[in-house]
Amino acid sequence: MKILLTNCKIVNHDKTLTKNILIEDGIIKSLTDDTPQADKTYDLKGKMVLPGLIDMHVHFRDPGLEYKEDIISGSYAAAAGGVTAVCPMANTKPVNDNAIITKYMADKGKELGICDILPVGAVSKGMHGEELTEMGDMLSAGACAFSDDGKPVLGSDVMRRALEYVSGFGGMILSHSEDKQLAGEGVIHEGEVSAITGLRGIPAETEEIMIARDILLAKLTGGHVHICHISTRYGVELVRWGKSKGINVTCEVTPHHFSLTDRELLSYDTNCKMNPPLRSADDVKAMKEGLMDGTIDCIATDHAPHSRDEKFQEFDLAPFGITGLQTLVPLTLNLVREGVINENDFSRLCSYAPAQLLRLKGRGVIEEGAMADIAVIDPDKEYVFDKKLNKSKSVNTPFMDKTLKGLCVLTFKNGREVYKADI
């Protein structure tokens, strides 16, 4: 099967070029100015053609909580967002803390074949923060990294040993950095809006204290710590410092943390309740600075589906988290339109860098010989993100029914068309 994509504005992390792409047997056969014979041809004039996006941080709720999302619905949501590889976190039910569950998740993804499922194994058994999991086994079964995300690894001793152990396998620890005691009963960022609303606050320092600890433990162990969903100015500052000292630390930011502030919470909308919480305008500014100067390595969505019933209750009782796979493209393109990053940075932050961090070969770049994982984006398309467009089982996002700009119109996985927008 030969597929030809013509008039492609190919946006790689390092350069943009206009070529035709010939795909053969799931591999990019050539980038060419010719128009070779193909079984199927797509004219992509006016679109951006990016290497398939890689989302290092999603929650697919499978096994155990499939009513929120399962690997199949999650994969469809990913494909509709231009995402061709995801790393589902381990806080499933049961917890993904052994090779059997890891393999179940990866295989279920493979069977469907529209998105690579690269499970994140738990750091500790049952995510109880006490004993280490069999990380070597899980890596062999398809795990890409380790994290107790959703929960912090509270014991510094446990985090130390996890970093040491996993570095022996060349792996990394993704850190959900949160000082639980300082966070207390908090449900939103502590600041002006918590003072106004009477909603209990979570200080920025809750996150920063643990980021500082984790960076120092990376210094101690030489292990690679990757800070998940960074959200505060001093958090970014700490990572910048760590990197300047040659410490093995990287980090990611979610689109909502660079797009929204805690002012959204004046409405008590549970679809704006997430952990870490939406922060102040200054923190949002710091996210953009961190993206601009490269302190922040990549963008990940922390796609966290919850059912309507769970979100439709008292603010304090509603779970933390919002969906994100299908809003990744428009929100990141906002950064491009604002001049915070350029198109190549978009490609780097959402594809190349995660591929590097996860040590994925043949992904994250459009070049001859790479896997034909491709996201085609119409950057100027304006549309209302509604339930019809939404492919996730859940609709818990503040962007539901909002007008967005920039849409993934076509997604290829291993050279196969796996998503085509019908608007």
Partner 1 sequence: MSYSRKDLIGMIDLSKEEILHLLDTAEKFREINHRDVKKVPTLKGKTVVNLFFENSTRTRTSFEIAGKRLSADTVNFSASASSTAKGETLIDTVHNIEAMSTDIFVVRHAYSGAVKFIAENTKASVVNAGDGLNEHPTQSLLDMLTIKQHKGRLEGLNVAIIGDITHSRVARSNIWAMPRLGINLRLFGPKTMLPLCTDPFGVKICGNMEEAVEGADVIMTLRIQRERQGKLLIPSVKEYARYFGLNAARLRLSNNAIVMHPGPINRGVEISSEIADCGQSVILPQVESGVAVRMAVLYTLGTGQRGIE
Q: Which residues bind partner 1 (CB under 8 A)?
A: 190-192, 194-201, 203, 268, 309, 312-317
> According to the binding rule CB under 5 A, does residue 176 interact with Zn ion?
yes
Q: Tell me whether residue 107 or residue 310 sits nearer to partner 1 (CB atom).
A: 310
**Piece of the chain touching Zn ion by CB under 5 A; list 41-49, 175-183, 309-317, 382-390:** 175-183
CB of 178 to Zn ion, least distance (A): 8
Question: What residues are designated binding site?
Answer: 57, 59-61, 91, 149, 176, 229, 275, 302, 306, 320-321
Find the shortest distance in angstroms from Cβ 199 to partner 1: 5
As a whole number of angstroms, the distance between CA 204 and CA 279 comes to 8
Minimal CB distance to Zn ion: which residue? 176
Q: Which of 302, 345, 373, 378 is catalytic?
A: 302
Binding residues for substrate: 59-61, 91, 275, 306, 320-321
Residue 398 binds: one of Zn ion, partner 1, none (C-beta under 5 to 8 A by kind): none
Nearest to 319 by CA among 262, 279, 266, 270: 270
- What residue 156 binds from Zn ion, partner 1, none (CB within 5 to 8 A, per partner kind)? none
Nearer to Zn ion, 177 or 248 (CB): 177
Strand ranges across the sheet with 116-117: 53-58, 83-88, 116-117
Query: Which residues have CB under 8 Å from 128's CB, separation 6+?
Result: none
Q: Take residue 61 and report the two structure tokens written for it.
A: 């709720």
Binding residues for Zn(2+): 57, 59, 149, 176, 229, 302
Task: Give the contacts of 78 (CB within 8 A, at least 6 positions apart).
Answer: 55, 58, 84, 86, 114, 115, 325
- Report in angstroms how near the CB of residue 183 gets to partner 1 at its nearest: 14
Residue 108 contacts which entry, Zn ion, partner 1, none (Cβ below 5-8 A, type-dependent): none
Name which of Zn ion, partner 1, none residue 317 binds, using a CB cut-off of 5 to 8 Å depending on partner kind.
partner 1
Choose between 312 and 342: whose C-beta lies nearer to partner 1: 312
Residue 134's contacts (CB-CB under 8 Å, 6 or more residues apart) are 98, 99
State which of positions 227-246 bind Zn ion (CB under 5 A): 228
- Cis status of the peptide bond prior to 305, with omega within 30 of 0: no
The interface region with Zn ion, picked from 169-177, 185-193, 214-222, 388-396 by CB under 5 A, is 169-177
281 binds, among partner 1, Zn ion, none (CB under 5 to 8 A by kind): none
CB 150 to Zn ion: min, Å: 6
Look up 302 and say whether it is catalytic: yes
Alpha carbons 347 and 318: distance in angstroms, whole number:
34
Cβ within 8 Å of residue 52, ≥6 positions away: 82, 83, 84, 85, 351, 363, 371, 373, 374, 375, 411, 412, 413
Which residues does residue 52 pair with via DSSP β-bridges, in sequence order?
none
Q: Is 149 in the site for Zn ion (CB under 5 A)?
A: yes
Q: Which does 176 bind (CB under 5 to 8 A by kind): Zn ion, partner 1, none?
A: Zn ion
Is residue 298 within 8 A of residue 357, CB to CB? The reply is: yes
CB nearer to partner 1: pick between 74 and 201 = 201
Other beta carbons less than 10 A from residue 65's beta carbon:
17
Shortest Å distance, C-beta 42 to partner 1: 46
Shortest Å distance, C-beta 162 to Zn ion: 16
Closest CA to 56 of 88, 84, 90, 92: 88
DSSP per position, 283-317:
HHHHHHHHHHTTSS-EE---B----HHHHSS-TTT
Residue 116 vs 149, nearer CB to Zn ion: 149
Judged by phi (left if over 0) then psi (alpha if -120 to 50, else beta), residue 255 lies in alpha
Residue ranges binding Zn ion (CB under 5 A): 149, 176, 228
- For the annotated catalytic residues, the residue numbers are 302
